[in-house]
Amino acid sequence: MHRKIFYFLLLLILCPVLINAGTKGRIKGKVTDLQTGDILIGANVVVVGTTAGANTDASGEFLIQNLDPGVYEIKISYVGYKTITVSNLRVSADLTTYRDVQLPSQDIEVGSVTITAQRPMVQKDNTNAVRITTSEDISALPVRNVTSIIGLTAGVVLQNGYIFIRGGRTDEVGYYLEGISTRNPLSNLNAVTVSQDAIEEIQVQSGGYPAEFGGANSGIVRQQLKSGGNNFKTSIEWITDNLGFKSKANAFDGQKTLGAYTWGYSEMSGVFSGPVTDKLKMFFNLDYVYNRDGNPQPNPGINLGRIGDPSTKDTLPNYVYPAGPQAGRQTTNYTFTGTLNYDLRPILLRLTGSYTTSKGDISGNTGVGVRDFMNTRYGEGDNTNGSFTLKMTHVISDKIFYEITGGYYIRNSETFDKALGSNYWGYGDSTVNAAAGWTIPRAPRDLRDYATYKSAFGNDVPARGLGLFAWFFAQNGAVPVNYSKFNQTSFSINGSLTMLLGKFNTVKIGGEYQQYTLRNWSGVGATTLARTYNNRLAVNTANLSSDEIKKDILRGGGVNNYGFDVLGNVYDGSGFDAPHKPVFAAAYIQDKIEFEDLIINLGLRFDYIDIDNMTLKDPTLPDLAVIKGSTDLNPDGFVKTSSFSSVSPRIGFSFPITTSSMFHAQYGTFVQQPQLQNVYEGYYSFMQKIVGAGNFYATVTGPNLRPTRTTQYELGFTQQVTDFISFDITGFYRDIRDQVEYIKQPVQSISSYSPAYYIDGNGDFATTKGVEIALNMRRWERLQVNASISFQDAQGTGSSPNQKSGLVFQPLDGSTIYAPKNVTPLVQNRPLFGNISIDYRWGNNDGGPILQNLGLSALITFNTGHGFTLGYGNAQAETDTRNRYPIEALNSSLTPSELQVDLRIDKTFKLGDKLGLNVYLYVINLFDAVNVDNVFLKTGTATDNGVLSDPKLSATLIKTYGQDYINMYKAINLDYQLGWGGQGLGGNLFGPPRQVRLGVRLEY
C-alpha cells in the first residue's frame, strides 16, 4: 500500500470516524420569564414529531443539534408556565437557527400559544458568503430548472449553460448532494440530476467555505433533499407548452400560439411524503420530462424550394424546414428521488437516493439538424446517473455526536445507432444495414459510378450525402452516429465527530475517502471500419485471427479506451486497458467559536490526490513508448504518475454588531485537481495523436497535470434595514495558480517524431475580484422581493485550457516554444450581472373570490455581456485561431447587454378542507427579447459573419454559384448556426425565445 495512503488511513483510525461534508443544522436559544425576564433553568424544549430536544442550562440556554435541513416546530414547557409552540423554524445545513422564547406564567389567562417564526434577516454565524434558496423560495420562482435557480445567486454567472462562480472556470465548482460529492471527475460538472420538487434547500458558498469542504476552487453548490413530515402530503403536477392542445402531427407546424411555438415540452411530477410509523418517515418524488427540443432558439425556418448544384448534379426537390423545434433532438427523462428517516435515538438513520434515466435522439452526423432533415434514421444517447447515501448519526450526548455516511455514485452513457446498437463493425456494411431494415443511401454521382465502387468496396460502398455547393446533406438511411460508451462509479465513506467543548467551542473532526472507477471506449470512424477490416482480411498473409485484425485496426486508428479492452469489452486487469481508479481523500479539523459578539471558524484541511495514471517516462523521447513496426505500445516507456498532498488553512470571522447588523471576513487556501478529461485518454489514442503532432487539431491530454491552487480573501457586511428588509454586500479577491493551458513539448533531435507535440500542462494563472450585493425583502403585506447585483473583474492568461493553442502552434516571434503570459479579461467575465425576483400574492380570504390565492411572480435577469476579441480571417477562423488576426486586445470587447423577464401567474382553488388545485401560466422571456449570447468574431454581431455583407465577396459568390448559394448560406451559416464567440466555451448565438407553458397542480 502506498505510504501516504497508509499514513492517511492511520490518521482516520486514530480519529473516531471518517468525513462528512456536514448536512446537519441546529436550533439555539434562551428561555426566560415573559413578565420578569428571569432565566428559566431546566425548561423542556422538544422538536415536535421527533425525539430531538434539550433542557435549558444554568444560563437558560438550550441547543438542539442533529437536525436535517427543513422547517420545524418546537414546543417549550416549564412547570408553572404556559406551554409555547413556535412553528415555521427554518433549519439549514451547518448553520444555527437562533430563537429566544419568553414563557407566560400559568396565572395569565391565555389559551394555548403558537408563535409563527419568521426567517431571520441576518444569519449571524455566517463567516463567509452563504446564499440559501429554500423550497419555499423555489416554489415562488418562475423557473423550472435547478441550474437556472443556482444561476440566480449573487456571484454566479450562467453562460452557455455552464455555471461560473466568481470568475473561475467551469470546472472549479464543487457539487454536493446530501453531503456527498456528485461531481463528474472527468468534466468537474454536476453529474446527478435532481427534480426541483425534491429539493429542500440549495446552498451556494462562493469560495470562502470552511475546511470540511475541498476539491473546488471557486465555490460549492450543496443540495439537500426533502424529508417526510408528520402529516401525509401528496401532489401531482402536469406542465405542457402545447397550449392549443394540437395533435402530435400538427403541433410542430411552425405556427405560434400566444406568440410562442410549441417546443414539445411536457412534464409530470408526483410527490408523496409522510410518516410510515411514528419513527419512520419517507419522501418520494417521480419526475417525467419530455422535450422535443431542449435548446430552443429563435430560428426563422427555411423555405427555399428546389435547390440544385450544377457541378455535382445533386438536387434538393423542396428545401423546407419549419420554424420551432428541430427534429432529432427529443429527450425523455425519468428521475426518481426519495428519502427515508428512521429515528431510533440515540441512533438516527437517513437513506437517500436519486436516479435518472435519460434517452435522447441524435440527429445525423453532420452536426446541423437543417442538413439532416431528410434522414429519419436517428442515433440514440442512453444515459443514467444516480447518487445513493446511507447516513448514521449517533447522539452520544447533547454535546457530542458523530456521523458516518456511505455513498455510491453511478453514471453511464452509451451512444449508438438505433438499428445496429453495439455492432459497430457493421455500421459501414451495407448487408448488415439492409438486414436491420436500412438501405445505405447513394448520391446520384455514386450511382453513376456504382459498378466501380462495388468492385472496389464490395458490401462496404461508402455512403455520401447530397453535395450542394459547400454543404453536404445526409440522405435518409445514412448511419447517424459513431459508437461510444463510458461508465463511472464511485464509493465514498465519509464521517465527522462534533463536540461542544465548554459553552463556546464546537469542534469538528473528519475526513473522507472517495475512489472512482472510470471506463471509456470510443472508436474512430465506425462507418469505415467494415471496409478497413475486409481489406485487411483479403491480404491476411500473417494468418491473424479476426480479433487480432480488429485490434490492430483499432489500435492503429487511436481507439480511446480504458476500463474496456480494445474491442470494447469490460476489462478489470492491469496495463494499457485498465480502468482508472483515482482516489480523493482528506482529513480536517475545524473549530467554531461562538461568543455573543464574535464568531470564529478556524480550520485546517489535508488533501490527498492520486489520479492513477501513466505518463511518458521521457516526454522528450516519445519513441520509447512504442514498439516499432507494430501498433502496440511499450510498457517500459511509461511510468506511474505521482500522488499529490497539500495542507490548506481556513479562517473566518463574524462580528455581530447588533442583532440586525454584522461583518464577516474570511481567508483560505484551496486546491483542486483539474478535470480529468484533460488527463485521461486511451494510451493508443494518446500516442496516435503524438505521431500526428503536426496537426494541432488533435488535442492531446496532459497525463500528469497537477492540482490548481487558489488563495481567496473575502469581506462582507449585512444590515437589516427594517423588520422585513435586509441587504448584504461582500467583496472578494481570488488568486488562482497552475490552471491548465496548452503548451508545446519539445523532443530530442534523435526522436523519429516531429520537432514537438502539443499537450495540456499547468501554467495559466488568473486573478478575480468583485463586489456582490444582495437585497432580501421577506413578505410584507402581499409583496416579497429578492434581488442581487454583482460587479466582477476576472483577468488571467487563459479562459480555458486550449484558448492559446493557435499562438502556441504558430508563435508570432518564430520561437520554437512560446507560452504567452499576457493577462487579459477572461471570456467568462461579465462586469455586471444580476436579477430581481418579485412575488405578489393574495392569501386565503384576501381580496375577494377572484383575487384570493392569486399570485404573480416575475423574474428579471440582466447582464452586460461577456468578453470577446474582434478579428478577421476566413469562416474557419471563428474556431481555429491560426486563421484569425485580432484587431484589438484580447477580450476587450463585450457582447451586447441582455435583459429577460419571466412571468408566472397562478391561482389556487380550494376543493375541500385539504385538497387544493393550483393552475398557472408560465412564460419564459415574456417580451420575446432577442438577447445575443455570442457573436461572430469578425463583425461582433450575431446576424452577420462578414461574408455576405462584403460587397466584393458576395458579388463574387453570386457570380460563381448563383443566388441559390447565397440563400443557402444565409439559412445554414447564419439563421441556424451555432455561436462561435465562446472561444473554447461554445454556445448559441441567441438566448431562448418566448415560451409559454400551462401547469396544473393537485395537492393534498
| Predicted pLDDT of residue 19 | 36
Write out pLDDT tens, residues 201-225: 999 998 788 898 899 999 999 999 9
Q: Which residue has the higher pLDDT, 812 or 17?
A: 812
Write out pLDDT tens, residues 834-852: 999 999 999 988 988 899 9
What separation in angstroms does the CA of 623 have from each of 557, 626, 760?
18, 6, 19
Write out pLDDT tens, residues 42-54: 899 999 888 888 8
* Contact between 957 and 891 (Cβ < 8 Å): no
**The C-alpha cell that represents 442 in the structure block:** 447513394
The answer to whether residue 9 scores a pLDDT higher than 80 is: no
| Predicted pLDDT of residue 148 | 92
Rounded Cα distance between 34 and 798, Å, is 62
Mean pLDDT of 230-258: 88
Give the SS3 label for residue 176.
strand
Mean pLDDT of 348-354: 95
Mean pLDDT of 962-985: 72
pTM over 0.75: yes
The answer to whether residue 422 scores a pLDDT higher than 60 is: yes
Rounded Cα distance between 98 and 754, Å, is 67
Q: H/E element holding 857? A: strand 854-863
Amino acid at 635: P
Report residue 526's pLDDT band, with 50, 70 and 90 as the boundaries.
Answer: confident
Write out pLDDT tens, residues 778-791: 899 999 999 999 99
Mean pLDDT of 411-429: 93
Please state which of the ranges 72-76, 150-154, 386-390, 877-881 shows the lowest mean pLDDT. 877-881
Rounded Cα distance between 246 and 258, Å, is 14
Instruction: Determine phi and psi for 103, rounding to 5 degrees.
Output: -95, 130
The dihedral sign for the CA sequence 668, 674, 675, 680:
negative
What separation in angstroms does the CA of 909 have from each of 265, 719, 847, 917?
25, 39, 14, 5
| Predicted pLDDT of residue 820 | 57
Q: Whose CA is closest to 762, among 674, 828, 639?
A: 674
Amino acid at 993: P
Q: Whose CA is closest to 123, among 660, 729, 776?
A: 660
What separation in angstroms does the CA of 630 have from each of 534, 633, 646, 903?
20, 8, 42, 64
The answer to whether residue 463 scores a pLDDT higher than 70 is: no
The answer to whether residue 815 scores a pLDDT higher than 80 is: no
How many other C-beta atoms can be found within 10 angstroms of the C-beta atom of residue 785?
17
The answer to whether residue 12 scores a pLDDT higher than 50 is: no
| Predicted pLDDT of residue 925 | 97
Mean pLDDT of 540-555: 88
Q: Whose CA is closest to 764, among 791, 739, 733?
A: 739
| Predicted pLDDT of residue 466 | 84
Mean predicted lDDT score pLDDT of the chain: 86
| Predicted pLDDT of residue 940 | 87
Q: Whose CA is closest to 916, among 824, 1004, 815?
A: 1004
Mean pLDDT of 19-42: 80
Write out pLDDT tens, residues 655-669: 988 888 999 999 999
What separation in angstroms does the CA of 716 have from each of 217, 652, 653, 772?
19, 11, 10, 9
Q: Whose CA is closest to 89, among 60, 125, 118?
A: 118
Mean pLDDT of 577-584: 96
What separation in angstroms does the CA of 704 have from each of 635, 642, 819?
17, 8, 18
Write out pLDDT tens, residues 725-782: 999 999 999 999 999 988 888 888 777 766 678 888 998 999 999 999 999 998 999 9
**The C-alpha cell that represents 40 in the structure block:** 428559566
| Predicted pLDDT of residue 978 | 56
* DSSP designation for 701: P
Q: Which residue has the higher pLDDT, 838 or 821?
A: 838
Give the SS3 label for residue 924.
strand
The answer to whether residue 450 scores a pLDDT higher than 90 is: no
The answer to whether residue 868 scores a pLDDT higher than 90 is: no
CA-angle at 519, arms to 513 and 523, nearest 5°: 160
Mean pLDDT of 542-556: 90
